[in-house]
Chain A
Amino acid sequence: MLRRRINLLFGGDEKRVDSRTIYVGHRPCPATEAFIPPKFCDNRIVSSKYTIWNFLPKNLFEQFRRIANFYFLIIFLVQVIVDTPTSPVTSGLPLFFVITVTAIKQGYEDWLRHKADYEVNKYPVIVLEDGRSIRKESEKIKVGDIVEVVEDETFPCDLILLQSTRDDDTCFVTTASLDGESNHKTHYTVPDTEKDLQSLNATIECEQPQPDLYKFVGRMHIYKTDQEPAVRSLGPENLLLKGATLKNTKKIYGVAVYTGMETKMALNYQGKSQKRSAVEKSINAFLLVYLCILISKAVVCTTLKYVWQSQDGQDEPWYNEKTQKEKDTYVYLKMFTDFLSFMVLFNFIIPVSMYVTVEMQKFLGSFFITWDKDFFDPEIQEGALVNTSDLNEELGQVEYVFTDKTGTLTQNNMEYIECCIDGFQYRNSDSMSELDGFCVTDGPVSKLQQKAGRDKEELFLRALCLCHTVQVKEAGPDEIDSDQVDGLVSELSQPDEQRGFIASSPDEVALVKGAMKHGFTFLGLENKSMKIRNRENNVELYDLLHVLNFDPVRRRMSVIVRSKSGETLLFCKGADSSIFPRVRQEEVDRIRMHVERNATEGYRTLCVAYKQLSPEEFAVADAGLRDARLALQDREEKLMAVYNQVETSMSLIGATAVEDRLQEEAAETMEALQGAGMKVWVLTGDKMETAKSTCYACRLFQRGTELLELTVRTLEDGGRKREERLHELLLDYHKKAVQDAPPVKAGVTRSWSTANQEYGFIIDGATLSLVMNPSPDTNSSRYKSLFLQICQNCTAVLCCRMAPLQKAQIVKMVKNSKGSPITLSIGDGANDVSMILEAHVGIGIKGKEGRQAVRNSDYAIPKLKHLKKLLLAHGHLYYVRIAHLVQYFFYKNLCFILPQFLYQFFCGYSQQPLYDAAYLTMYNICFTSMPILAFSLLEQHIAIEYLLDNATLYREIAKNAMLKWGPFLYWTVLGIFQGLLFFFGVKYLFSNPALQDNGQVFGNWSYGTIVFTVLVFTVTLKLALDTRHWTWINHFVIWGSLAFYVFFSFFWGGIIWPFLKQQRLYFVFANMLSSVSAWLVIILLILLSLLPDILLMVFRKPRGPHARQMKRRLPSSGTSTIFMLSQTTSTHSFSWSD
């Protein structure tokens, strides 16, 4: 971080321009006046934080920035400086332990990074220098070097591709390690560079490094001795990123443009923002309470000390004369030191070890998610992934679930279903058996309808074959397993053509395959011409002139091709909403009906349009596109403008329908989430109808659900101004859903299957932006809160037509709403990343749309159905565990320190510690730490199966229920009760301190040891009482801790320790055990302090296995969408197909 900043600083000093000039091969170019070799950073990757020299100071500094560590450091320093009752060791040792463990962990992690850096930096590469190939270490590459990379090697830095061994001047690259997309991407050499790199004389002008992987703008000036310098534009297609791997290409040469820490990979390598869990906030609140208790205890003791001393004869009895120094000290200074001493004496009430235990619990606990066999998906051979362990317990607190539709609720496993050409439906019902069933001579399968003209059909199918960015996978034995975007490829391809398709979006593959079923096969792209085989088995060739790429804003893509006959054609496919305005209206009407019907059935629809470009038109478009591509600044905007200009006045040829199956158990999962009191919001970029039918299929909307729609369509119904209508509708819905709703207590009490009217809410992107960013003149600032209130009263909310940022916006709105509910986002694609990052908990699905969601998520699971267990079982348990852990820690330290506090009243407020220093130190480290750690890892207060079957149990812990002030009070009162009991019980025993049968008398250390013994046994047995799920580990640590305590006490008191100044515990423990009275009182006090808990346990409602008989059985689904839809559409189609 620092290094990068310094680099930026230096870079900034040299030149404050936003572009850099690179001399290819370090050859001065003739055009510029003087060759000043510019300075760039070297190709060393430094991901490590520390070096050997700065590790100690830097690591310590970072650790003491944590408020808790700093607090303990202060306590330690006070102990060192001021004459305090306990030696500095008592707080120094735990602190040292904590600091050391953390430092070792961080040091180890950094060592791993060093090792990885070393491997990367020392990797041998071949650099072309003065016509010779020289082997170098990767870190020695300088900007401007020409680097050679062979197949299957990763690029050592960001390179501009100059030369490839492939004939078509391309190379293939996978960026799996960068963004997780495993498909091959084609990159192009800079056009017209010379074949001989030795004589190449060129400079590259490009922007300063920036982290966006998909953006690059640059220009290359090629100087030839006898010509004007040629200028070539450079884009991301020319840039090979460090970390990507060369595929299917023997060898390439490229010139380094960004090196080392300035590569896009390094710039992207940065920790995600730290998400903090709600539990941590509770801990801090409790800490504050305990800090107040601590300070007030110290104040009370200090005050009472001076009140007590003011009495006659108490200040300085003859037997306890003060030293001269004490007599000379100012009284206020003495008061202050007394206050500090009391603070030190009671500081154990704030447990230093709690932080360590919580960290360990989280770290180790996350393994249980990784190890869970139920999360293992045999298809991808992977289980769940935990990217952060800080949020385990947050999984048990989720109130809002935001889910993506495509790939999350549905499988993103596209299957071509039907198409509609010119208003006629072509359906291939049994596509699997009859691959070539669609045949003109046999007539379309749909016998009810006429077919469109043959020309139209063929035009449509050609469009399907041409308008895409699909690559044909070259069949090779080593590639069969990898790079599969579509699992159906091998099944569907004809046996004689072992053909696979690779595409960034599975829709495209489905469409190309759909066209194949109808007789038009895409054979591949060669030399910028696309080969297709038509129904007559003739190969047609089309020159690919331009690809107008897909982007989520335009929601369409186009290609411009030239056929052999010289026609220039533009084919465009895209969402209906983006195509319809750009085609003639009379064509729209014929097709709209089909599109909407397909959408209601849950299919993804795309419309296909085309346009014939006249040579003039093409010339304009071509020039525009080239200009825009060459632009160094605002290239995106310029390209967009050209695209929009070109894609107009097209004619619509048809539409396609692709089915996206529901994920396994999607409906059950959603139902369970709703049953658990979570509100499920579906945020999708898809069409309303498609999304709505998915919601019905997932049972997010039920039959009885009344849908409140707030979409562009409903807004335009009244024919009035949109904003007025919006206002009116919002108020109307608000009245319905919020005001008229019976006053039930939110969430917990309301059962999910009550007879109450349930509401579903639907809003689309355009309307949402109206709600979120209303025009300032109207009184519309209330829209947002109205909208939020309505949504909070609906069981499910569907937001369709969402841009990725809008998804994040919604999550943010809910997150910041009243009560700051815990939100969870789940998605699988790059478009979900923003909402995954925004939500409290982000969950990625290891789906088909690359790995970006997984990389940015906190947890990644293979399938949606795993969400149920993740939340209902793991989340619930983690929350209960950590809540119990936190409460228990405060409790055990309260009843640890309370006797010490009470003792001050009986020792003249002299800060006499009740317990020996060893006990003070070891209590939290050894005697009571392991049982609670084991408990917080293994406890299952309710069996997992039972949790899964009874989603409503999740509601019991909603809203941080176990860390509210109520439970905190219970634990605190319990701690106080036990503390009082320990102290006064032993005090009354000591009314006759002659406790041994030989009449000998016990002293103050015996007193403390008896209290401490009772304490250790009580808090450990209390935990044993709370444990519902006993494993051998629990048994081992609970009984082992007690045994260790006894063993340690014997050992500690059994030897004259040479390093101790005072042997004050010498044989104290053994003598205590020899006294029957001590035994009796220990047993009595343990029983008595556990009595409230035993009573509670008895009277608590039994939660036995017999309750299982009442569990609800959900009808199992897993059947296809169609089945579900056939049930739902019949009842609902009337209500929403206007």
Chain B
Amino acid sequence: MSKPLKKISLTKLLHQNKNKWSFIKLRQFYQSLEKILKETCSYAELCTNNGHWLDYTGTEMNSSCFSCSSVKPDCVCELTFSFSQLFEGPVFFYYGLSNYYQNYRQYGVSKDANQLSGDTTYFLSPQDTCSPYQYDSSGKPIVPCGSIANSKFNDTFKLYLMVNGVKTLVPFDGKGIAWWTDYNVKYRNPATVNGSLAKAFDGTVKPPNWPKPAYELDPSDAANNGFVNQDFLVWMRRAALPNFRKLYGRITGGDYSQGLPAGNYTLQINYNYPVVNFKGTKKVIFSNVSWMGGKNEFLGLAYLVIGCLCVVMAIVMLIVYAKYKFSDDDDMQ
């Protein structure tokens, strides 16, 4: 991840020109291209390419999460930002990691699909691919085993809207953030023993990085535990590239179904996940989706460029064709 080149507020620029799309200045065009190619933006401000995002790694001294970046479990930090106008909903809240190789091959195979489909015979003897998270130091099998499960993202976020100086919680909806088929077909919890999911996990231990075992992931919703925990499923779907984002929750509740109203916001972060030692960054992204999926400037630009190219070529070819045709006729005579 390269350092940002300019420290100018692109937000402003974009907002000024929001109604003047008819003539994009070359400079702006270049900048947006650059943004797409580099995904750069200054720290501690709401950046606006591919959604509004905010870096909270805390490597910079002035960042409020700086104190948390040196490993300190259960560290809490807060970021503030503002929307000058309504951010149209439904708003989706993502967390993003960079320089994080979820597509590493050995990492990717480090899971036991049989365990995850609820086959308890594999609970006691996980597959070798899970190594080194196959058995713990005392020889007990780890469920869910493997590197992917063990490295599950465990930062938690709370968003507050400052209304008249009072913090109001903006609720995240964590349902339906994983693929329907993952939640309903591919991943299955083991059959409960005497109606208790925890008993099915008897004789196994939780992954070392997890604070709680799998069957206690979501105390608020019993159907969101075990392997069919939405956050867990989102994490288990490996990202394609080292810079990625994953869905954390939707903002759909009540007042916010239209989107996030203009105002000042505070994001409270439970900072648990270490990324500094492998030069990674963490960020949160607010994004809305259209009928064609998440916001993606590349697609629009690419179509624009190629469309223009095609028009130019069509004109050139028309001229060429006209010339060719006439000369051809001359030949025939």
Contact = CB atoms under 8 A, between A and B. Distances in A.
Interface string A1077-1116: 1101100100110000001001100000010000000000
Contact of A1075 (B100, B239, B293): B293
15 contacts: A320-B147, A907-B242, A912-B105, A992-B294, A993-B241, A996-B293, A997-B289, A999-B177, A999-B287, A1001-B94, A1005-B238, A1067-B185, A1076-B293, A1088-B306, A1095-B313
A1075 B299 CA distance: 13
Given A319-B147, A321-B132, A908-B101, A991 B39 contact: yes
Interface stretch (A500-508, A616-624, A633-641, A1058-1066): A1058-1066
Interface in B310-324: 313, 317, 320
Which 4 pairs show the lowest CB-CB distances between chains A and B? A994-B294, A319-B151, A1007-B240, A1076-B292
B103 A991 contact: no
Contacts of A988: 36-37, 298, 302
Contact of B185 (A908, A1005, A1066): A1066
B292 A313 contact: no
Interface string B275-312: 00111000000010111111110110011001000000
Contacts of A907: 101, 103-105, 242
A477 interface: no
Interface string A984-1002: 0101111111111111111
A441 to B, nearest CB: 71
Contacts of A908: 101, 103-104, 242
B239 A993 contact: yes
A997 B293 contact: yes
A967 interface: no
B299 A989 contact: yes
A1001 B246 contact: yes
Contacts of B237: 1001, 1003
Interface string A889-927: 000000000000000001110111100000000000000
B13 to A, nearest CB: 20
Contacts of A995: 293-294, 296
A804 interface: no
Contact of A317 (B109, B278, B291, B320): B278
A177 interface: no
A906 B292 contact: no
B214 interface: no
Given A1000-B179, A1084-B302, A1084-B306, A911 B294 contact: no
Residue from A323, A1061, A1075 having most chain B Cβ neighbours under 10 A? A323
B240 A1003 contact: yes
Contacts, number: 193
A322 interface: yes
B71 to A, nearest CB: 10
A489 B132 CA distance: 94
B132 A322 contact: yes
B107 A319 contact: yes
B244 interface: yes
Contacts of B299: 989, 1077, 1080-1081, 1084
A323 B290 CA distance: 44
Contacts of B303: 1080, 1084
Nearest to A913: B105
A258 B51 CA distance: 92
B181 interface: yes
A320 B247 contact: no
B132 A999 contact: no
Nearest to B114: A1061
Interface string B221-263: 0000000000000100111111111110010000000000000
B292 A997 contact: yes
Given A910-B104, A994-B94, A1077 B50 contact: no
Contacts of B320: 1099
Given A989-B298, A997-B290, A910 B186 contact: no
A995 B50 CA distance: 11
Given A991-B50, A992-B295, A1081-B299, A1063 B244 contact: no
B131 interface: yes
B106 interface: yes
A133 interface: no
B147 A317 contact: no
Contacts of B101: 317, 320, 907-908, 910
Contacts of A322: 106, 132
Contacts of B246: 1001
B132 A993 contact: no
B174 interface: no
A156 to B, nearest CB: 67
A320 B151 contact: yes
Contacts of A989: 296, 298-299
A446 interface: no
B104 A320 contact: yes
Given A85-B105, A907-B103, A989-B299, A324 B293 contact: no
B289 A912 contact: no
A314 B279 CA distance: 9
A318 B178 CA distance: 25
Interface residues of A, number: 64
A303 interface: no
Interface string A280-324: 000000000000000000000000000000001110011111111
Given A912-B104, A991-B296, A1067-B181, 13 more contacts: A313-B279, A912-B108, A987-B241, A991-B298, A992-B51, A994-B94, A994-B287, A995-B293, A998-B176, A1056-B186, A1066-B186, A1077-B296, A1080-B299
B190 interface: no
B108 A1004 contact: yes
A388 interface: no
A991 B289 contact: no
Contacts of B117: 1056
Contacts of A312: 279
Nearest to A1083: B303
A684 B288 CA distance: 86
A912 B293 contact: no
Nearest to B290: A997
Given A999-B92, A1001-B246, A1061-B113, A319 B287 contact: no
A277 interface: no
Given A992-B245, A994-B294, A1000-B247, A906 B186 contact: no
A231 B254 CA distance: 124
Given A318-B277, A323-B132, A992-B50, A1056 B105 contact: no
A358 B298 CA distance: 42
Given A994-B247, A1066-B181, A999 B106 contact: no
Contacts of B120: none
Contact of B245 (A319, A993, A1056): A993
Contacts of B179: 1000, 1067, 1071
Interface in B32-74: 36-37, 39, 50-51
A822 B232 CA distance: 67
B259 to A, nearest CB: 14
B94 A317 contact: no
Nearest to A83: B106
A1041 interface: no
A428 interface: no
B234 A320 contact: no
B239 A319 contact: no
A663 interface: no
Contacts of B279: 312-313
Contacts of B298: 988-989, 991
A1071 B293 CA distance: 12
Contacts of A1098: 317
A825 interface: no
A318 B147 CA distance: 9
Given A907-B105, A999-B92, A1000-B178, A993 B240 contact: yes
Contacts of A325: 131
B94 A906 contact: no
